[in-house]
Amino acid sequence: MVKNMEEIADRYFDCNDRERVAFELGIKLGALFHQFVGAPVSSENLDVLERAIEKTTERQAFVKRAEVRIKPIGLKKRTDSVFHDYTTLSGDMLDATVEVEYKGVKAKGRLRYIEELDYPLMYLESIG
């Protein structure tokens, strides 16, 4: 039985520690987006969903911290609609910061909608 993360690194990975931490950070941001996009949201449950995304992310390997904000885009605006204040979570609504650490190397990544790109970008803010 493989007993620790170092043994897993030796057997399965072929990269340095900085590349490993970048890889792990990418996994967490990709997971977070594709797991929760589509979830039903309204103004009244944004906070509970933010906390759930943070806690499920923080329990994954190497994650030090996750902070999630959901922007209420598309909510509260359709005041004359029967579906007022209800939509499903889209990538544009998410602003997530995730910090990971592996063997002393830290990396910080973010997912957020960037206006000049008209796109929810996942990027590596800092490493090392």
Residue 104 touching its own copies (CB under 8 A): no
91: number of Cβ within 10 Å:
16
What's the min distance (Å) between Cβ of 118 and its own copies?
Answer: 6
Tokens of 24: 């792990």
Query: Measuring CA to CA, which residue among 52, 90, 86 is closest to residue 68?
Result: 52
**Residue 99 carries which side chain, given as an amino acid letter?**
E
Least distance to its own copies from the beta carbon of 71, Å?
16
Q: Is 76 in the site for its own copies (CB under 8 A)?
A: no
Residue with tokens 């910090």: 99
- Please answer whether residues 92 and 120 qualify as being in contact, where contact means their C-beta atoms are separated by less than 8 angstroms: yes
Determine, following the binding rule CB under 8 A, whether residue 103 of this chain makes contact with its own copies.
no
51 binds its own copies per the rule CB under 8 A: yes
Please state whether beta strands 94-102 and 105-114 pair in parallel, antiparallel, or not at all (unpaired).
antiparallel
Please pick, from the candidates 64, 76, 103, 121, the single residue that binds its own copies as defined by CB under 8 A.
121
State yes or no: residue 41 binds its own copies (CB under 8 A).
yes
Contact between residue 87 and residue 117 where contact means Cβ atoms under 8 Å apart: no
Q: Which residues bind its own copies (CB under 8 A)?
A: 1-5, 8, 12-15, 18-20, 22-42, 44-45, 48-49, 51-52, 55-61, 78, 80-83, 86, 88, 90-91, 107, 109, 114, 116-119, 121-127
